[in-house]
Amino acid sequence: MSELQQIRGRLERLHAELVGEGIEIDSSLAAQVEEELLHARFIKVHEGIRPPYGALIVPAGLTLEGMRASTGTLEETRKLVDGQTSLLVRTVTEPDRGDLAVGKFSDELSLLKLARDTKGVVVRREDDGTITITSEQGIWVNELYSWRQRPAARQRLMDISDEVQLETGFYELVAELLDFAFHRLSPMHIGATLVLPLQTGFDPLTFPLEADGYELPMSLNLQVPDDRELLVGYLRVVDGAVLLTAEGNVARTQVKLQTSKETSRKIGADRGMRHSSAKWFSFDNPEALVIVVSADGPVTMYSDGARVAVFDDAGIDSLPNRLNTVSAQAERLETSWELEACRGCDKQIQLRVVRLEGANQTIEVTCPVCKAELPGRQAVGLWLSPRKPWTEESRTL
């Protein structure tokens, strides 16, 4: 078998593997992505090891900071790439050549932002042989020919934003916070608790605290890349929660959140003490969104005492949103907002109820905070979440 036949056979098997795993790649980029995956998987052994590698495949020409044009062949240019401080850049318009991008490409968040900004796909081989595919939709990780997906946290925020009842202008900041927690802290196994007020002008230092913590010796903002990296280093060596302002500034670190025994009795614990404290604190302080990063990876979001979502490699487990299959035109559906007082935890629970005449059935309802039973609804679909104090009691859709 010739080398060309071997490469073609491997490409065919790789394509079938990606299809079988449900890995969807933009059809205009797929051929070059598969070529780069094959190169990363079978990169030539040197001194007993297969070296790290990385490539960015984009739909059209672009200019990146640190971009360097290459006059050599594709194979010669690949030898300059390590996937950590440099990437091969290939475009659909010039499939037989590549340039170099020089920068920092070693962390998950940087790669996601690069894929998002360029509408491209990043292929990397790490030092330990792990191969990753990064796109706007998330990260696919290949270890010993077994694939798993880490979803893009930002892409999934839209699915849960109604449950948190974000004010206008908060979406981008919460997206940055989730990106930071799930794609920067989580892969490094850095445990943390991040507290963000959900109202403009709210002073986080007015939150009830058992220990006031410390001010940083300099101003840091979560939305500034260099500031985020300084915060990563800081969180590796300290405990306690971080208080953020509604603008993303770090207001205080190493704080201890104040919780009450009455709240813990009403709604119960959740996992360990870090998660339970976050759950109880968010119950007592509806102005707060609390995000907990576990040292073992998962990221959990709490609001009003409810576990709004858990982000991990299995995807996103969010508040129970139920929608039965309905074969009907959308204009026949009737949607209404309703309120239900939970007798277990005293929270007001808002329900978005979708009905269709002749197709409704009883949907059982439990409180998303304390899991107490609530009156069921005759409906075809139902969304529910705790109502924020500033939310209008009657909503129109």
| 156 burial via Cβ count (<10 Å: 0-12, 13-18, 19+) | buried
Cα atoms found within 13 Å of the Cα of residue 341, Cβ hemisphere only: 2
The amino acid present at 11, given as its one-letter code, is L
Amino acid at 107: D
Count Cβ neighbours within 10 Å for each residue of 25-40 and write b for 16 or more, e otherwise.
beeebeebbbbbbbbb
Res. 328: pLDDT tops 80: no
Q: Give the range among 6-20, 148-162, 168-182, 227-241 with minimum mean pLDDT.
A: 148-162
Question: If pLDDT is split at 50, 70 and 90, which confidence band does 5 have?
Answer: confident
Across all residues in the chain, what is the average pLDDT? 89
pLDDT given for residue 159 in this prediction = 74
For the chain, what is the total number of helices (H) and then of strands (E)?
9, 22
Q: What DSSP string runs through 58-104?
A: ESS----TTEE---S-HHHHHTT--SSSEEEEEETTEEEEEEEEES-
Evaluate whether 319 touches 306 at the Cβ level (below 8 Å). Answer: yes
**How high is the pLDDT of residue 324?**
47
Q: How far apart are CA 19 and CA 25, in angstroms?
A: 10
Give buried/exposed letters for 256-288 (b at 16+ CB in 10 A, else e).
Answer: ebebeeebeebbbebeeebbbbbbbbbbbbbbb
What is the number of other CB atoms lying within 10 angstroms of the CB of residue 110? Answer: 18
Above pLDDT 90, what percent of the chain?
A: 64
- pLDDT for 54-103, tens place per residue? 999 999 777 777 788 888 899 999 999 999 999 999 988 888 888 888 88
Instruction: Please give the model's pTM, rounded to 2 decimal places.
Output: 0.86
pLDDT of residue 170: 86
pLDDT above 70 for 394: no
Question: What type of residue sits at position 262?
Answer: E
Domains and CATH numbers, the chain: 3-151 (no CATH), 157-318 (3.40.1700.10), 322-386 (no CATH)
Residue 326 is predicted with a pLDDT of 47
Write the pLDDT tens digit of every residue in 109-151: 999 999 999 999 999 999 999 999 999 989 999 987 789 888 8
Of residues 350 and 328, more confidence is placed in 350
Residue 238 clears pLDDT 90, i.e. is over it: yes
pLDDT in the model for residue 98: 86
The 10 Å Cβ neighbour count of residue 251 is 19
Sign of CA dihedral 108, 110, 116, 119: negative
% residues pLDDT > 70 (the chain): 93
Give the H or E element holding residue 197.
strand 192-197
- C-alpha triplet 15, 21, 22: angle, nearest 5°: 90
Mean pLDDT of 168-180: 89
Q: What is the pLDDT of residue 325?
A: 45
In this predicted structure, which of 155-159, 265-269, 361-365 has the lowest mean pLDDT?
Answer: 155-159
CA distances 266 to 9, 127, 157, 257, Å, are 61, 49, 28, 18
Structure tokens at 61: 């020409």
Residue 249 is predicted with a pLDDT of: 97
Give the model's pLDDT for residue 314.
67
At 317, is the pLDDT very low, low, confident or very high (cuts 50, 70, 90)?
Answer: low
